[in-house]
Amino acid sequence: MQSTSERIVGRPQYIEQLKKWQGQSDLIKIITGVRRCGKSKLFYLYQLDLITNRQADDSQIVNINLEDLVQTNKIGLSYDTENFLVGYNKLLDYVLSILKPKKMNYVFIDEIQLLRDWDKVANALRLQSNVDLYLTGSNAYMFSSDLANSLGGRYIEIKMQPFSFKEYFEACLKFAPFDVKTKKDMDDLHNPMAVYYHYITESGFPQTLNLVYDKQLISDYLLDTVYLNTIQKDIVKRFNIADTNKLDAVVKYMFDNIGNETSIRNIEKGLNAGGHKISVPTIDTMIQGLLDSFLLYKCDRYDIKGKQYLDSNAKYYVADIGLRTALLGIKDMDQEHILENVVYLELIRRGYQVSVGKIVKGGKNIEVDFVAKKSGGIVEYYQVALNVLGTDILERELAPLEAIEDNYPKFLLTMDFGSGENNGIKRMNVLEWLF
C-alpha cells in the first residue's frame, strides 16, 4: 500500500459495512456515491485494516483506479468515441495475471462505470474462488435493469455520502491544532452551533479539510472539481447536452428549492418565470442525471393512513449543503430547509427509506416532514423546525405528528437546547440527534 500525507478521517460506519461482507467472495461489494465523497479513501482505510489485522499483505491486494491514465495505459485500455474505456478483457487478463495462487486476493477497482462492459469483468472475477471483489461507482445508471440482471443479483451496494455532521465535527477537532489561530477559533471548534455553520457553508466533502478552512479555496474546489467534473462526466456527455447554460439553470433552481414540494411541470413554470425556456422532457432528463450522479435526492410522498406511495409531487434535497452554498452563495440562506436537508441525509445515512408523509384529517391535507422506514417494519416520524420557542409555533409543529394515529415513535427536531416530551412526541436538539 502507498502511504499518504493527506488528512484522512476514519469512516467507521462504512468500514463496518465492508467488514460485514468480507470474505463472501460470491458477492461483489459496490460502493456508490457522489464523486469525491471519499470512496477511494475508504478503500485505502479498508486495505489498511486488512493489513493491520493480518488478514492480508500487500501482495494480496490489487488496486486499480480507472481514472488513472498511467495505470489504464499500462493495462492497455483505451477510450472509444463516447469516452468509455474499452478492453475489458485486457483488464481481466491483467488482474488474473497478478493474483496470488492459494491465497485470498482482495481486488479493488475504482470508478468501474468508466469501463464499457464492466459487468463482464465483475462476473468473471466473482467466480474466482480466491478473489474478494470491491468496486466503486459514481453513477446510479450503472445499476440499470440490464446490468442488474447481468450480475444476477450477486452484489451488495453500500451507499456513501460526504461527511456527516458528526464526522465533520470530529475531523475539525482532530486537525484543529494545526489550523486555528485564536482562542475564539479553538472555542468555536468545541461549539456544535459554530461548527454547524462551517459545515453548511464550507462542505462535508473530505478534501475540503486539506484546504485549511480557506473559504475561497473551498468554493473553487467544490465548483471546479466536484460540480463541473460531475456535470461534465455524468450528465453532459451521457445525455449529449449541447446547451450547458440550461443545465446550470436547472441545477440552480433545484438547489434553490430544496425541501419544497414540486413537480416537473411546476419546475418548468418556475424556470420559465426566471427567463429560461426549457421543455418538460429536457428538465426530466436533466433531473434524472442529477439523481443518477448522486448530486440530488428525490423524496417521494407517502400516504400514512393508506400506506401507499403517491405519484404526484415530491421534494428534492442536495448531496451536500456546502456545494449548494458554493453554487448559490450565502445570501438569504433558507436555514429551515437547509436543516431539513441535513436531517434527510442523516436518515438516509442511517439506512432508512425516507418519504414525505401525507395525512388527510378533517378535510385538510397535513404534511409530516419525514416518514423513515427500515427493513423489518420499523417506522419513525420526524418533524424539523429551527425553533419552537413560542407556544403557537410549538403547537403548529406538533400538530402533524399528533394527527398520526399509530404508535410508532415520533420526533420533533429543533435547534432549541434541551429535550422534552409532548403527548408521547420526543423533542430533541437536532445537533445532539446528529451525533
The four Cα atoms 18, 23, 27, 33 give a dihedral, to 10 degrees, of 20
Mean model confidence pLDDT for the chain: 91
Which DSSP string corresponds to 139-190?
-GGGG-HHHHHHTTT-EEEEE--S--HHHHHHHHHHHHHHH--SHHHHHHHT
Report pLDDT digits (tens) over 32-77. Answer: 999 999 999 999 999 999 999 999 999 999 999 999 999 999 999 9
SS3 262: strand
* pLDDT value, residue 2: 46
Q: Confidence band (pLDDT; 50, 70, 90) for 4?
A: very low
Distances (CA, A) of 124 to 71, 219, 350: 21, 42, 32
Contacts of 249 (CB under 8 A, 6+ apart): 271, 274, 276, 278
**How many Cα atoms occupy the beta-carbon half-sphere of 328 within 13 Å?**
25
The four Cα atoms 286, 200, 31, 355 give a dihedral, to 10 degrees, of -70
* pLDDT value, residue 178: 47
φ/ψ of 403, rounded to 5, equals -75, -15
Residue 293 cell numbers, joined: 450522479
SS3 427: strand
Model confidence at 20: pLDDT above 70: yes
Report pLDDT digits (tens) over 138-184. Answer: 988 877 756 667 788 799 999 999 999 999 999 988 876 445 566 66
The stretch 21-30 carries a mean pLDDT of: 92
**Range list of H helices, 257-390:** 264-273, 280-292, 321-328, 335-349
| Alpha carbons 36 and 51: distance in angstroms, whole number | 25
* pLDDT value, residue 82: 83
* pLDDT value, residue 116: 93
φ/ψ of 247, rounded to 5, equals -65, -45
Q: Burial level of 55, CB count in 10 A (0-12/13-18/19+)?
A: middle
| Cβ 273 vs Cβ 332: under 8 Å | no
Query: Can you say whether the dihedral through the CA atoms of 324, 330, 332, 333 is positive or negative?
Result: positive
Q: Which residues pair with 2 in a beta bridge?
A: none
* pLDDT value, residue 181: 60
How large is the C-alpha radius of gyration of the chain? 23
For the chain, percent of residues with pLDDT exceeding 90: 77
The stretch 414-429 carries a mean pLDDT of: 94
- Closest to 434 in 3D by CA, of 125, 218, 167: 167
> What letter would DSSP give residue 42?
H
Length of the chain: 435
| Alpha carbons 209 and 176: distance in angstroms, whole number | 10
SS3 395: helix
Report pLDDT digits (tens) over 172-225. Answer: 888 764 455 666 666 677 889 999 999 999 999 999 988 877 889 999 999 999
